[in-house]
C-alpha cells in the first residue's frame, strides 16, 4: 500500500522497475527510419525549434516504441502524438508526421494511456504508413525536448539509419 501511496510502484508495462534517476538519458529511436536534423522538417513550428530542440526520423514503418524509461504524460486524442517524461524529468514529444492532427485519428492506434510506465522498446502507437503518406503533408516524425530548460547538455546522432528501440538518437544530461 505505501508503495502505491508514495509512487514507489513504478513498473513498466512489461513489469520492469524503472531505473533510478541519474541525470543522463539516452534516447533511442522511437521508429525505424532515417534520422535527420529538425531543420529538414517541412513545418516551421518544428524546424525553427518553436516547441523545443530535438531530431526527426523519416519512418520506414508504422510502429512507434518508447525511446526511454519513463512515464506517458499525454496521448493526444487523435493519437498522432505522444508525450513522455523520462525518469530524470526530461519531457519528450513524439509527433508522427506533419499535419496529421487533421486525420482525426484515422489510421492511428494507441497502446498506452496517460500514466503508463514504459521501457525502451515498449509499443506506444501504431499507424498506417500508407494513410499518413497519402493524407498528411509529410511522414517525417519530430522527436522534441519540450522542457529544454531542464537540459544541461544534448548530443544528437543525426544522418544515420535507425532501428526502433535500439539506435541512440540523442544523449541528454539533465540539470
Catalytic residues: 95
Q: In a 3-state reduction of DSSP, which class is residue 2?
A: helix
* CA atoms of 140 and 132, how far apart (whole Å): 10
- Lookup: cell for 148: 529544454
CB 84 within 8 A of CB 120: no
* CA atoms of 37 and 151, how far apart (whole Å): 19
Q: In a 3-state reduction of DSSP, which class is residue 37?
A: strand
CB 67 within 8 A of CB 169: yes
Task: Give the DSSP letter of residue 173.
Answer: E
Outline where 25-147 has alpha helix (H): 44-47, 129-135
CB 71 within 8 A of CB 85: yes
Amino acid at each position: 500500500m505505501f508503495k502505491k501511496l508514495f509512487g514507489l510502484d513504478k513498473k513498466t508495462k512489461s513489469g520492469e522497475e524503472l531505473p533510478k534517476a541519474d541525470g543522463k538519458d539516452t534516447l533511442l529511436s522511437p521508429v525505424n527510419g532515417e534520422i535527420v536534423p529538425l531543420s529538414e522538417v517541412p513545418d516551421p513550428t518544428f524546424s525553427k525549434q518553436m516547441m523545443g530542440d530535438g531530431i526527426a526520423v523519416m519512418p520506414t514503418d508504422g510502429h512507434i516504441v518508447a525511446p526511454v524509461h519513463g512515464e506517458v504524460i499525454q496521448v493526444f486524442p487523435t493519437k498522432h502524438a505522444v508525450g513522455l517524461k523520462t525518469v530524470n524529468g526530461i519531457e519528450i514529444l513524439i509527433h508522427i508526421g506533419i499535419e496529421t492532427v487533421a486525420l482525426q485519428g484515422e489510421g492511428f492506434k494507441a497502446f498506452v494511456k496517460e500514466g503508463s510506465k514504459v521501457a525502451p522498446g515498449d509499443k506506444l502507437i501504431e499507424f498506417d504508413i500508407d494513410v499518413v503518406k497519402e493524407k498528411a503533408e509529410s511522414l517525417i516524425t519530430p522527436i522534441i525536448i519540450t522542457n529544454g530548460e531542464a537540459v544541461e547538455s544534448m548530443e544528437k546522432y543525426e544522418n544515420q539509419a535507425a532501428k526502433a528501440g535500439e539506435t541512440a538518437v540523442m544523449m541528454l544530461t539533465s540539470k
